[in-house]
């Protein structure tokens, strides 16, 4: 049965419907040798549908991988400004995949990729409450900041509260060991926090920390749900195990 092309691209895991429409407008989608139009319908298996010159993959060919994203890479399929993208790091996957959610250019760590649109939606949509844990090195009044992070915070009109905030390391601004005359200096310090949230809004952790009076010096995502980065080296990727994949579906 014919379906709107934007829906077809979404169901095949290439993009959201809105992004698919942008791809169509950009002339990146070809149907039977002719550039597609917004609102056009086609039938997979009968019509020849190509995106950037690559035929649409069968629905059964789903791929699920994780990448340890280094700093300095943007989370996008391609970048008009010529910056390095995460797609440069996942060559050899064999099928077209796209990132599930985003990490900003200065954030490192766990980033998932797939070509399964429904699977991606389960991980990113706030209603599924998938926990995401970050290791954040911050500076400022840490004790006060932690207290504020544990309270509801208005971020871009959305009320957000961390699931948990744990201090795992503390060092004084003036003393790497965080001690002065044998007493821990907890005022104006540098600390490493483990922060868990269940949403993934744009630059959410950085905005939350800013609201709490903390400057983020380094930010790394270490887990999504029960899937952890583990010992995967920066810049490397691997396929999810069956157990890992299923843990994010429940």
Which positions are catalytic? Answer: 104
- DSSP state at residue 241: P
Distance CA 4, CA 216 (A): 43
- DSSP state at residue 75: S
Distance CA 76, CA 89 (A): 12
**Is the Cα dihedral 182, 186, 187, 188 positive or negative?**
positive
- 51 Cβ partners below 8 Å, 6+ apart? 9, 14, 23, 28, 29, 30, 96
Q: Please name the residue that has the structure tokens 């309270």.
A: 151
Question: Which residue, 11, 246, 244, is CA-closest to 110?
Answer: 244
CB count in 10 Å sphere of residue 144: 14
Question: Which residue, 37, 42, 12, is CA-closest to 27?
Answer: 37
- DSSP state at residue 1: -
Distance CA 235, CA 57 (A): 26
């Amino acid at each position: 049965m014919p379906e709107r092309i934007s829906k077809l691209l979404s169901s095949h895991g290439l993009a959201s419907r809105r992004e698919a429409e942008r791809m169509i407008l950009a002339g990146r989608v070809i149907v039977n040798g002719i550039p597609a139009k917004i609102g056009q319908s086609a039938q997979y298996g009968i019509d020849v549908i190509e995106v950037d010159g690559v035929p649409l993959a069968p629905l059964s060919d789903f791929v699920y991988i994780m990448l340890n994203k280094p700093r300095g890479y943007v989370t996008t399929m391609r970048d008009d400004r010529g910056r390095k993208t995460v797609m440069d790091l996942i060559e050899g996957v064999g099928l077209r995949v796209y990132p599930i959610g985003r990490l900003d250019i200065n954030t490192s760590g766990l980033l998932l990729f797939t070509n399964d649109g429904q699977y991606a939606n389960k991980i990113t949509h706030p209603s599924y409450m998938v926990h995401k844990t970050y290791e954040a090195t911050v500076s400022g009044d840490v004790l006060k900041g932690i207290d504020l992070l544990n309270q509801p915070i208005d971020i871009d009109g959305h009320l957000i509260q961390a699931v948990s905030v744990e201090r795992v390391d503390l060092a004084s601004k003036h003393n790497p060991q965080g001690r002065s005359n044998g007493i821990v200096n907890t005022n104006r310090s540098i600390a490493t926090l483990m922060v868990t949230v269940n949403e993934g809004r744009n630059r959410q952790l950085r905005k939350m920390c800013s609201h709490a009076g903390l400057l983020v010096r380094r930010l790394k995502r270490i887990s999504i749900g029960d899937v952890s980065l583990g010992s995967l080296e920066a810049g490397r990727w691997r396929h999810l195990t069956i157990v890992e994949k299923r843990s994010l579906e429940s």
